[in-house]
Structure 1
Amino acid sequence: MITVDLRSDTVTKPTPGMLEAMWSAKVGDDVFGEDESINALEEKAARMFGMEAGIFCPSGTMTNQIAIKCFTQPLDELIADQTAHVYRYEGGGIAFNSGVSTRLLNGERGRITAEMIEPEINADNIHYPHTSLVVLENTVNKGGGSCYYLKDIALIANLCKQHNLILHLDGARIFNALTFTGDKVEDYGQYFNGISVCLSKGLGAPVGSVLLADRATIKYARRIRKVLGGGMRQAGFLAAAASYALDNHVQRLEEDHAHARVLADELVKCTWVTGVTPVETNIVLFDTLKPAEEVVQLMADHGISCNSTDKHRIRFVTHLDIQPEQIEYTLEVLKKIK
């Protein structure tokens, strides 16, 4: 039986070239700033996005939480969409780590606009928390991999400057977004105070995210990372994998997007599927007549792993370990479900 893992793009294994890069990595104690591979990755990522500096962390959750801590004070409030990863999937870290409240907006598939944000900025009144930060997610996980175009981000950034707000990007799948929109990576830095770049999703590195910001913020971020237990030692083996991913796995993301579109095209034809979210990148969300868990089990019986995200909603995520023949096999299985 062919096996296919469509649960997430976090399930990928290092490629032979990535393993070779890891094997030959130059390492040192990163807490002392002596790991050459980590230093090189941080400099590479910052240069790519037009930012001053970066810090390598074990996860996107940590880079996001460090950013929020750096950019806010207790009694502040941040603005984000109600589907935002920082709110839904980071364990209540906004409140626990930073003592900050959250103003949630109802965007279109997770994307919020300057027009939506402006009326939610609190007046300078002791009854209200101080609005200090806006967080965008790109791509939006709960939005089915939906993307922001840079022209829309520019409008939000201009609003933030007018109101002295900080703008942070949870760039969990930022290179997927860039692949879809055609925007340039080097243009992002001018709009954001902080950018979290996850390397262990579509890019296929085994571990890690990089937080990018100005040098003063990154200096403080190192202190916060240490407090959170993220001070790593000879972690250059992981950084080398991430650098390899940045050099070799960005261009191929279009293959994942093409696979996702093929799956979506077949799902639209299935009589037991009631709706498919428009596919922009590598995430396919679809709704079912049957209970989602029943469909997930049917797929598992045929060697295909996937996740339900609601009682009648399922998510497929394509990635670099998915080959064309696995997509064809999945299409055959979908056709058999009644």
Structure 2
Amino acid sequence: MTVADFIDLASDTKTRPTAAMRAAMAAAEVGDERAHEDPSVNRLLERCAALLGKEAAVFLPSGTMANEIALAVHCRPGDAVLCDATSHLIGFEGGGPAALAGVMIEPIAGRRGIFDASALRAAIRADVPHAPRQRLVVAEQTSNLGGGAVWPRATLDEVAATAHEARLATHMDGARLLNACIASGVAAAEHARGWDSVWIDFSKGLGAPGGAVLAGTRAFCDEAFRIKLRWGGAMRQSGIIAAACEYALDHHVERLAEDHANARRFAGLIAGAAGITIAADDVQTNLVYFDVEAGGAGAFVAALQARGVRMVAMGPSRVRAVTHLDVDAGAIERAAAVVRALCEEKRRNAS
């Protein structure tokens, strides 16, 4: 099997820069980003601040750093952050909220990674000395463990208003915000309008090799930049990466619709395969989750990889496949055929 034959559906972070993106990177005008002298970075920040409807923005190496810096700016050690129980903050950032910002996480049980204003009200308590001070509410758009579910704009507005009424700040983990924009037809600034800070990731569906932009008020971003330097996030001539991000904004946003269509197609093709349980109608963006036999996810993804298709076990029985720009419709058809063949082989062996 050649590298070209391998179908990688493990994550949209597996994308590689296209030839045209590489050319844009090679041609990038650069300067010292730490001193605000990189013209490519400065142009990207102005563009992203406008895109997200915020005063200013900060360029960062990764989305995880964007989340962690936002917590450190909004909160003080010992404060509490309210977010959905399935949030990226809890499960995929190496304990960063506690280790870096010194905050406690107070999870809210939502549905598919989304909680509403009533659930938030139930979680908000009086500010008393013996309990952690609640300081921040976080929403993840789209919800990863929610299967790429899109927060409705009305829900975002109501949750943000409820938080602000309780004098809590708001932060949007916008790792796949542009997927939500394409799926919903709602502009990024509209999704983020009630949220004090928000970021977008360029290394997922947009296909850049790295980079994230965190946006908010000028004062918020000034403090975020200070923490970025403290944590070693300055990248000097980072216009090379910023050029890839700007290329992605120009060429890879609208095409996210192809990833969504491929995800729906994949879900439909494997629905009904022996031993698979999937809610195909729940696929809204580029994430597809399904269940296999109890405790069998690890063996299932290992068997798939041996056949040239990579997915990820997200629990004892849960499997995730993620579509992206390196996987076209033909590859989706082939991947689904491999899944169906494996399921049929397991069915025959069991009987």
TM-score range for the pair, normalised by the shorter chain length: over 0.9
Partner residue, 2:153: 150
The code of the aligned residue for 1:244 comes to: Y
CA distance in 2, matches of 1:285, 1:237: 35
- Identify which range, 328-337 or 127-136, moves more after superposition: 328-337
1:74 and 2:77 equivalent?
yes
Match of 1:209 in 2: 212
Query: Partner amino acid for 2:158?
Result: L
* TM-score, L = length of structure 1: 0.97
Aligned partner of 1:38 among 38, 41, 45: 41
Tell whether the 8 Å contact from 1:276 to 1:287 is kept in structure 2 after alignment.
Answer: no
Offset from partner CA, 1:185-231 (integer Å, 9 cap, x none): 23234211000111110111110111000111101111100111101
- What aligned pairs does 1:263-278 form with structure 2 within 5 A after superposition? 263-276=266-279, 278=282
Report matched runs for 1:298-337 at 5 Å: 298-337=303-342
1:221 corresponds to 2:230: no
Q: Deviations over 1:90-149 (max 9, x none)?
A: 111111111211110110011111110112112121111111100000111111111101
1:1-338 superposed matches below 5 A:
1=1, 2-276=5-279, 278-289=282-293, 291-337=296-342, 338=344
- AA paired with 2:312? N
Q: Secondary structure at the match of 1:233?
A: coil
- Equivalent residue for 2:349? none
* Letter of the 1:56 counterpart: F
CA–CA distance in structure 2, aligned partners of residues 293 and 71 of structure 1: 39
Distance in 1 separating the partners of 2:299 and 2:177: 33
Q: Is the 8 A contact 2:142 2:180 kept in 1?
A: yes
What is the one-letter code of the residue matched to 1:325? G
Would you say the 8 A contact 1:113–1:156 is kept in 2? yes
What is the TM-score when the length of structure 2 is the normalising length?
Answer: 0.94
Tell me the distance in 2 between the aligned counterparts of 1:270 and 1:194: 43
Instruction: Work out whether residues 195 and 212 of structure 1, in 8 Å CA contact, stay in contact via their aligned partners in 2.
Output: yes
Q: Which amino acid aligns with 1:323?
A: D
Letter in 2 for 1:232: M
Aligned-residue Cα RMSD (Å) equals: 1.2
**Partner letter of residue 255 of structure 2?**
R
Q: Aligned partners of 1:301, 1:74: CA distance in 2, in Å?
A: 46
**Does the CA contact (< 8 Å) of 1:144 and 1:285 recur in 2?**
yes
CA deviation vs aligned residue, 1:10-54 (integer Å, no higher than 9, x gap): 011111221111011010111111111111111110011111111
Identity across aligned pairs (percent)? 40
The alignment partner of 2:37 has SS state of coil
Instruction: Note the residue ranges of structure 2 that are not aligned, 5 or more in a row.
Output: 345-351
**Runs of 4 or more consecutive aligned structure 1 residues displaced over 2 Å after TM superposition:** 274-277
Residues in 2 aligned to 1:327 and 1:53: alpha-carbon distance in whole angstroms: 39
**Counterpart AA for 1:179:** I
How many residue pairs end up in the alignment? 338
